[in-house]
Structure 1
């Protein structure tokens, strides 16, 4: 049976919608290999000795036989865009696997905004590690996890990261919709004319679904000063709200927020990545 909000998406093809109900991360926010002084390139291998596989950071997005080695000072930051992790009562919340038995360790940090990180604990020693957010009294949503290698032990030197994800009961899922082709003048919150087609279709669907209320969210890339990015993202979200209201939709059906560059959905290391991160999206609030 299709829920009404899901039916809304099926009738609304000009927007991007994804909810894979996965407890795994789905984006690499940042990474650094201290051995090679590079990003996005790491040693590693297969958990099954006789099996040869291609080592990739994307392997952290799903269950597989691969591990990524993080030498001392190396790190990876993974992000969750379809879900977030909470402190579930009376249980552990985050799972991190370290492969092998060479006594390798890593520091683990969590964040809700990719700005302020809290130290969660130390993972390692060739074992499965489960962490309880209650141990550090962390009450915010975990949207980002940073793992930093602490040593160079082992045949593939460093902390061998097999997987990381939210444990059952600790995952919460959001239905976030990215609006396609909503564009603005450079460094301004003035909508370009080519945005009107998509926004007018949104108006039409809001007229047909009068009970629907949404939160409009603005995001930027990481170019420039973050204070200005934060302000610009808010202004752009408000500009979309104002456009919808100008078409006769009740303003009480909307709220808006700006997140600046703190919640990327892909790396900002390329023009294409920055273009994807400059976006407007919305979340159903009721």
Structure 2
């Protein structure tokens, strides 16, 4: 069973709750490869009364067709969904435009009281390692938020200015205290939202291989020397480790190293673009 909710996340949840009254708009940032698994319903319940913008980040690592469908499915009145490639910046303008549209009614009400216009106050929230800091840096246009490839890089809150009309409050990543569906835990472990030290990397790597085989089988076969997936998990990692030379003394395959290799190369996009949580087909097969 995969669970990881360290003490700093409980503290971050309290910080979010305390600061929610200060902001006008909430940016919820999720991983485009698993948009539902990477959401935190408990977290969003704390800011349900606020205008929201949903960002499907890491769109550069997800299947483009699946991302387009997810944007359509998740787009709602009062909470637009936008795909973002924080590496190239694709979608950044759309995100900022969505923020300004969400803030417009608040600004009108503010100025109607005779007050001077002020910047939109925005809070960025999400689970660990969905690329929140990278997304913020792309919106800012400079490296302001700390960026790392491990969950839990942002530990405290910080305000960041975006242009003249947006002030953004960056919050630490917060997971749900308990996964109701362990399949969500496996997806988040595969994408790096959960620290590698707290789950069985062999199990997750093998689960990942089966998830991506249909879409990326040719790339996986070429990279790891597999012609098919064996029903026995150890056999797959054994074959990968031997093909890539991950051997210990006595020509024994280092299964942990093989699992780590698969997870690392998937997270880096070396196996290709894939969505682990594909959207359901449209009603009526349209």
TM-score under structure 1 length normalisation: 0.26
More helix by share: 2
Q: Which has the higher contact order (CA 8 A, sep 6+)?
A: 2
Compare the two structures and name the one with the higher strand fraction.
1
- TM-score, with length taken from structure 2: 0.26
